[in-house]
Structure 1
Amino acid sequence: MGSASLWARTRGPSQKAHTAEITSGGIWTVAPQLEQERAVTGGGYSTPVGVTRAEPEVNVPHPQVDAVARRAQERVADAIEQLKDYLAIPAISCEAEHADDVRCLATKVRDDLSAMGLQHARVLELDDALPIVAADWLGAGRDKPTVLIYGHLDLQPVAGEEWSTPPHEATVVGQRLYARGSADDMGGWVSHMVSLGAWLAETGTLPCNVRLVIEGEEEIGSPNLERFMDAYPEAFEADAMVLTDCENPSDAVPGLTVSLRGLLEVELHVRALSSDVHSGLWGGMVPDVSTSLILLLARLLDDDGRLAVGRVEVDEARRAAGADVPLTPEIIREGAHLLEGVEPLPLRGTSAAEWMWWQPAISVVATTLPTPAIKKNALRQEASATLSVRLAPDQTAEEMMAVLRSVLLTDPPGGVQVELRADGWAGEGWLYTPKGPAFEAADRAYVRAWGRPLVQVGVGGSIPFVALFGRRFGDLPLILNGVMDPLTTAHGPNESMHLGIFGKAVLANVYLLDELGALGRDGIRS
């Protein structure tokens, strides 16, 4: 962490908040209170939707929580080295040749969880599935809640990507750790390992009961996660769940994810001829399926490139929350790697958050259009495109398909034959209203660790396991957090994790366990 500092809101014996600076060496010093009011009120951001900002009743903290926080911070440097060891294993779940790497990493994580003091650390197996690591610590007592912490250890592939550093050799540059999986999602669950280990090392106990589940197939859509839930139900029994695979608006603003877009893959096929024909003889006289395909795709967009079809109404509460999120043009340019002179699409009177999180989007991810390497003077008989359709959180695949059929199948150019079909699979979107004691506890924990409350955010991507957890455990509090930020570049080259976010996540996890434990089992859902 170098000389970087982390900030935490702590509670002294008088229960009055004070601000403490935690240096990389673990030394705490009380800092001036110039920013206290700003931190408590959200640093200039309005109240996130669904979270009570009136002064909540403060739970009495665990008497050793500050000592645990110090120990956790002292362990951050070692945790980064442990994280580097994990990242060196190419646990790429979508490539069969790396299945043994996924299993190797699962075994290593199991052994480390056992060594740090968690109980029943084991690798769960099913036929035709990559493993899940599970562990627990249930010694807090029946009156304390059981909190399930979920993460995933598998990685996206790196083949064909141009990295500035080796993708499986974690490299620190400035305040960022570069490696595939650094933030998505190993940094997320490793931050919980640090906080759990600090509690056990300092006190010999945890303030609540804990179960830990680390999946090996998230990056391929969690196809067997529900089978694991059915086969090993005891591993998922909990009173609240913390799901770590999400993003923060910036390295200074913590995020609580409350919505995800769904995902639908659609194939668009255009046919005009029974065989390829000479472009010199017939060009200009009969339809060119390549240009017909382009004309059809253009129907989906307005003149500025914004999606013109399938938009949804966004309620005023979400619009107000989205306006608070610091997604500036500068952050968008850097995070999306825009070339010089290229601008983000116009906002049209709303926020970047609304377009990225709560409206649908369509991207062309593959085509059969001729490549420059095949310069054949011919009109092709057919052309096709694969569309990745991101559904609004509360939009169904059937609703979007009805819109696409109306737009793309009506009056095709030149009378070409058009076929539109979904591939039979759709990832559900997810829209959640966080309320109740568990979320007030989470908010207090983040104020203590980050110096400001959580901002409720959405994620433009699709995370199938979240919808599954919501369907199976929707009556439980689901707290979605993580260590990603807009510059993480998850799933792309040069994926990275901000080290300051990791350090603050460790502290937030320490305080979150304290706050949830203080609620008691009966109070966590009341």
Structure 2
Amino acid sequence: MSLENVREAVAGRFPELVDELMELVRIPSVSAPSFAQSHLDDSAERVAALLRGAGLDDARVVRTAASRPAVIGHRQVDTDAPTVLLYAHHDVQPPGDDAHWEGQPFEPTRIGDRLFGRGAADDKAGIVAHVGALRALGDDLPVNVTVFVEGEEEIGSPAIAEFLDEFSAELGADVIVIADSANWAVGVPALTTSLRGLVSLDVNVRVLKHAVHSGMYGGPVLDALVVLSRLIATLHDDDGSIAVAGLTSAGDPAVDMDEASLRADAGIVDSLRLAGKGPVTARLWTRPAISVIGIDAPSVAQSSNTLVPSATARISVRIAPGQDPDSAEAALRAHLAAQVPFGAELTVARSENSGRPFQVSVDAPGMAQARAAFAAAWGREPVDVGIGGSIPLVADFHELFPEATILVTGVEDPDSRAHGANESVHLGELERVVVAEALLLSELGATWTER
């Protein structure tokens, strides 16, 4: 199909796509185990229905004994045509404190060009992008398509190895399109060529067998929160650079962003100095990063004048392309064991979240078609970017299907605030993503040759 025909087909169906995205956002499909898992079943069933309506008559909910519900569907058009696997995920992050949202996290709200709600960008918009592209092409679809919508990406895809082992025969493809990344800016498309990996550890320190009066025993005994804080502080040097030996870095990216753009995109307070050294994009994409994403300890409201006997922090490590999670975990464990203050008892456990990093060649088969499709949809050439976040499934796909080209695309932009309060998708960008994916499928059908 021509660019004009694709644009017209997408524009005519786009209001319906927005309505369907809003329906998906209303389902609180949080995969974290502390949330009601029944919503994941509701979400998966709705996704399967959308795919059936887009021409994948066999779309169905599938799962293994250990996995959350996923959706798989197929459309076969020609045995000689290439097969393209379209991936997204229907699970979402916890909403956090409702008070931090302008509206309600699971009640989508449209303000100007943006649709707000948990999952509006990450990654229910990715699902809608696949549905929209398939509808736009209709009977003109020139490639065989498999759609795989995962249900546990936000907790690190813990059962993905078992899942891929059971369903690998249904997922083989020549090209895999992962719609779970971000563009450079509103109006500027991007192709993601690298992803950091992820290791998450729960670090507990214990200083007392039970709580005691802070006035009676404070002084010679430091409470667990102070000890834990001192241990966490050893993870970075004074300038904010990583201080854990054994965590590696990859090469600096070819593009950089100015500090002002980073500050605006992230909402950094004026007084905060940036951590680390070197190009901003290197610190974001190709070097490790360590964050404390949660602490179990008494709340201020429930505090009393006692020494806290035990405290736990979840430490999240984004690992650079080229390092495997096991070596990164070993490095962090060794550092913690060597640095624990005052001989406190230390216990370290790996949490559910982990994933390997990924890097793709900018000249891989299919990349030229992707660049052409993106350039046509946006009217400007895409930027090759890295992403500091992780998509654990990508490395698993690469290992299982080494001959397949993996294209990482997405609907987010720097103001999407994925994982945070007031997550949103720019609807103009979403429409361009749908156009680009339809063009990509057309290009692959017209130009793909057997390797």
Same fold at TM > 0.5: yes
Q: Compared with structure 1, are the counterparts of its residues 164 and 376 closer, same or farther at alpha carbon in structure 2 (3 Å cutoff)?
A: closer
Please tell me the residue identity of whatever aligns with 1:208: V
Following TM superposition, by how much is the alpha carbon of 1:198 offset from its aligned partner in structure 2, in angstroms? Answer: 1.3
- Aligned-residue sequence identity (percent) comes to 36
User: Using the alignment, how far apart are the partners of 1:409 and 1:231 within structure 2?
Assistant: 39
In structure 2, distance between residues paired with 1:360 and 1:208: 38
For the residues of structure 2 that align with 1:360 and 1:345, how far apart are their CA atoms?
A: 15
User: Counterpart of 2:168 in structure 1: which amino acid?
Assistant: P
Find 1:205's aligned residue among 140, 150, 160.
Answer: 140
Aligned 8 A contact 2:82 2:144 in 1? yes
- Which of 106, 112, 126 lines up with 1:174 in the alignment? 112
Query: Residue in 1 aligned with 2:82?
Result: 145
1:242 and 2:169 aligned: no
Alignment deviations for residues 107-150 of structure 1 (CA, whole Å, 9 cap, x no partner): 333333323333323333444543322222211x2332111101
The structure with the larger Rg is 1
In the aligned structure 2, how far is the partner of 1:480 from the partner of 1:388?
23
Amino acid at match of 2:322: D
Give the residue type in structure 2 aligned to 1:255. A
* Letter matched to residue 301 of structure 1: H
Q: Secondary structure at the match of 2:10?
A: helix
Contact 2:120–2:424 under 8 Å retained in 1:
yes
> Which amino acid is the alignment partner of residue 345 of structure 1?
L
Structural mapping, 1:311-330, within 5 Å: 312-315=248-251, 319-323=252-256, 326=257, 328-330=258-260
- CA shift for structure 1 position 381: 4.3
Report the AA paired with residue 321 of structure 1.
Answer: A
Residue number among 132, 142, 156 corresponding to 2:93 in the alignment: 156
- In structure 1, the partner of 2:434 is 506
Amino acid at match of 1:460: G
1:101 aligned counterpart, secondary structure: helix
Say which SS state the counterpart of residue 118 (structure 2) adopts: coil
Q: Which residue of 1 aligns with 2:197?
A: 262
Instruction: Answer whether contact 1:443 1:454 (CA < 8 A) is retained.
Output: yes
- Structure 1 residues 430 and 422: CA distance shift in structure 2, 3 A: farther
User: 1:275, CA displacement in angstroms?
Assistant: 5.1
Query: How has the CA–CA distance of structure 1 residues 91 and 386 changed in structure 2, closer, same or farther, with 3 Å as cutoff?
Result: closer
Distance 2:19 2:311 in 1: 50
Larger mean Cα displacement after TM superposition, 420-429 or 497-506: 420-429
Letter in 2 for 1:459: I
TM-score in terms of structure 1 length: 0.77
Question: Could you tell me the TM-score, scaled by structure 2's length?
Answer: 0.89
> Is the CA contact 1:329–1:344 (under 8 Å) kept in the aligned structure 2?
no
Say whether residues 1:79 and 2:17 are aligned partners. Answer: yes
User: What secondary structure sits across from 2:140 in the alignment?
Assistant: coil
Secondary structure (helix, strand or coil) at the match of 1:332 reads helix
* 1:243 CA drift (Å): 0.9
Do the aligned partners of 1:265 and 1:389 also contact (CA within 8 Å) in 2? Answer: yes
Q: 5 Å matches for 1:5-84?
A: 62=1, 64=2, 66-84=4-22
Q: Give the equivalent residue in structure 2 for 1:106.
A: 44
Equivalent residue runs for 1:188-337 within 5 Å: 188-200=126-138, 204-273=139-208, 276-310=211-245, 312-315=248-251, 319-323=252-256, 326=257, 328-337=258-267
1:459 deviates by 1.9
2:381 counterpart (422, 433, 453): 453
Where does structure 1 lack aligned partners over 5 or more consecutive residues?
A: 1-61
- Is the contact between residue 234 and residue 339 of structure 2 (CA under 8 Å) also seen in structure 1? no
Change in CA separation of 1:493 and 1:143 when aligned onto 2, cut-off 3 Å: same
Distance (whole Å) between structure 1 residues aligned to residue 51 and residue 329 of structure 2: 45
Distance 2:340 2:56 in 1: 62
Tell me how far 1:320 sits from its aligned partner.
Answer: 4.3
- Note if contact 1:446-1:454 (Cα within 8 Å) is conserved in structure 2: yes
The 2-side partners of 1:337 and 1:483 are apart by 20
Q: Alignment partner of 1:423: what SS? A: strand
Aligned partner (choices 93, 104, 119) of residue 57 of structure 2:
119
Residue 21 (structure 1) aligns with: none
Matching residue within 106, 117, 125 for 1:187: 125
- In structure 2, relative to structure 1, the CA distance for the partners of 1:87 and 1:401 (3 Å cut) is closer
- The aligned counterpart of 2:271 is 342
Encode CA deviations 1:393-433: one digit per residue, 9 max, x unaligned.
222344434544554434754x4235252427642222332
Decide whether aligned partners of structure 1 residues 196 and 344 sit closer, same or farther in structure 2, where only a CA change above 3 A counts: farther
Distance 1:343 1:234, change over 3 A: same
CA change 1:283–1:321 in 2 (3 A) is same
Aligned-pair CA distance for 1:226: 3.6
After superposition, give the CA deviation of every residue in 1:58-78 in whole Å (9 maximum; x if it has no partner): xxxx5x553233212332222
Give the one of 386, 400, 405 matched to 1:477. 405
What's the counterpart of residue 368 of structure 2?
440
| 2:343 aligned to which of 411, 416, 419 | 416
| Aligned-partner Cα distance in 1 for 2:44–2:395 | 24
Cα 1:281/1:175, change in 2 over 3 Å: same
Would the alpha carbon gap of residues 305 and 439 (structure 1) be closer, same or farther in structure 2, given more than 3 Å must change? same
User: Is the CA contact (8 Å cut-off) linking 1:150 and 1:244 kept in structure 2?
Assistant: yes
In the superposition, relative to structure 1, how do residues 103 and 270 fare at CA in structure 2: closer, same or farther (>3 Å)? closer
Q: How far apart are residue 173 of structure 1 and its match?
A: 0.9
* C-alpha RMSD over aligned residues: 2.7
Shift of the alpha carbon at 1:217?
Answer: 2.5
Give the CA deviation at 1:228. Answer: 3.5
Residue of structure 1 equivalent to 2:443:
515
Question: What runs of 5+ residues in structure 2 fail to find an aligned partner?
Answer: none
Q: 1:388 to 1:95 in 2, by over 3 A?
A: closer
User: Does the 8 A contact of 1:287 with 1:416 survive in 2?
Assistant: no
* Counterpart residue type for residue 217 of structure 1: E
AA paired with 1:393? P
1:289, distance to aligned residue in structure 2 (A): 4.3
Q: Which residue of 2 aligns with 1:428?
A: 356
How many residue pairs align between the two structures? 448
The amino acid of 1:193's aligned partner reads V
2-structure distance, mates of 1:112, 1:481: 21
* 1:493 correspondence with 2:421: yes
Counterpart-to-counterpart distance in 1, 2:44 and 2:221? 58
Change (3 A) 1:293 1:194: closer
Q: CA shift at 1:281, angstroms? A: 4.6
Relative to structure 1, the CA distance from residue 478 to residue 283 in structure 2 (aligned partners, 3 Å threshold; closer, same or farther) is: same
